[in-house]
Amino acid sequence: MEPTAQRDRWLAAIGAAADDAALAAVEARLFGSKGEVLELVRSVTALPKEQRPAFGKAANSVKLEVEQALAQRRGALAQRALARELAADAFDPTEPGPRAARGSLHPITIVQNELVDLFTSMGFRWEDGPEVESEYFNFDALNIPRDHPARESQDTFWLGETSGQARCLLRTHTSPVQVRTMQRLTKQGFHPPLKVIVPGRCFRSETVDKSHEHTFYQMEGLVVDRATSTSGIGIAHLIHTMKTCLRVILERDVQVRLRPGFFPFVEPGFELDVNCPFCKGQGCPVCKQSGWIEILPCGMVHPNVLQKGGIDPEEHTGFAFGMGLQRVVMLRYGIDDIRQFMGGDLRFLRQFPEVVR
């Protein structure tokens, strides 16, 4: 049968559909797995070769016309339903419409903002610095030797170098802002005491797993004061500050340990660990079976770093710390996979009452 012979019958059936259910039944009859329109198109293969081009062209034309008729009828039925709804006595045009779904802050941003509020209430000032950093500020000014493994390409994203200029990289930590801030303030005539926090994004050439990411967030802290003052900065001030921070941000008391650690920009240096909340110290993949999670590298600022910042290390001392914000969020919310933060999965975000609603 010629395609045009069936077109009028199909169009009439579409036009006679009185509601969405009837229209859906017509559409299933025409475009279902054995629908009449699809069977017409498929029948072209049974024709002699010389008849196929003309028949196929006509069949596709009818198929397109029927699809357009379905869309138009669907729109007409929707308009009719809307008109009935608007004419109903229950319709109130002054009633507010449905609220659009709203997003909110990422859990890392929420915790970062809380930390900023905490430290500013303790007298710290918020500083920022570039994510594309020079080798000098990222390594040299922080007393990191030329042969240190952190400078290797397997640990750092290098951006190359230009003629006559220092090499640039994606900063591996927020510590460069320490030296930048000290240099800028001392040039402006500012003198310690100095209390600074630096939240920001960092990058390292890491192998991504449950506890490591190539892009992560840190919060750096720096406190400098005169060594001879009555409030001279010491390790006790460092420990008190860290415990206060963890108690407030994790919303509970946590078991911590302070162990020696080597970082070229502090001396002495420490690793402040918290007891793993996932295994309660028994050992699991998150804590690498140790029962502890490294969260706060810290220590007393190395005299060479103070000197690079324009501050006399003979007269001043201070402490510095740097925490991984993802790990703080993981401890707070019981998240056992750091990859969730950059996954972009709204199902993950909807688990947090403060986030997407």
Q: Has residue 272 got a pLDDT over 90?
A: no
Instruction: Give start and end residues of each alpha helix (H) in 88-228.
Output: 107-121, 135-138, 176-187
Single-letter amino acid, residue 159: L
The residue with tokens 């997003």 is: 103
- Kindly report, residue by residue over 41-81, the tens digit of the pLDDT: 888 888 888 888 888 888 888 888 889 999 999 999 999 88
Token pair for 262: 């080597």
- Kindly report, residue by residue over 305-339, the tens digit of the pLDDT: 999 999 988 888 999 998 889 888 888 888 888 88
The predicted structure's pLDDT at residue 227 = 77
Cα–Cα nearest to 305, from 323, 288, 319, 287? 319
Q: Which pLDDT band holds residue 357 (cuts at 50, 70, 90)?
A: very low
List all residues 6 or more positions away from 54 whose beta carbon is below 8 Å from its beta carbon: none
The predicted structure's pLDDT at residue 293 = 80
- Say if residues 272 and 193 touch (Cβ distance below 8 Å): no
Q: Which pLDDT band holds residue 146 (cuts at 50, 70, 90)?
A: confident
Q: Has residue 276 got a pLDDT over 60?
A: yes
pTM of the model: 0.66
Query: How far apart, in whole angstroms, are the C-alpha atoms of residue 244 and residue 322?
Result: 15
Cα–Cα nearest to 118, from 219, 37, 210? 219
Single-letter amino acid, residue 323: M
DSSP H/E element including 57: helix 52-87
- Say if residues 267 and 300 touch (Cβ distance below 8 Å): yes
Summarize the confidence of residues 265-275 as an average pLDDT: 87
Summarize the confidence of residues 26-40 as an average pLDDT: 85
The predicted structure's pLDDT at residue 165 = 64
DSSP-derived secondary structure for 71-108: HHHHHHHHHHHHHHHHHSTT--TTS--PPPP-----HH
The predicted structure's pLDDT at residue 133 = 92
DSSP-derived secondary structure for 272-336: EEEE-TTTTTS--TTTTTSSEEEEEEEEEEPHHHHHHTT--TTTEEEEEEEEEHHHHHHHHHT--
Q: Which pLDDT band holds residue 163 (cuts at 50, 70, 90)?
A: very low
Q: Has residue 274 got a pLDDT over 90?
A: no
Average pLDDT, the chain: 84
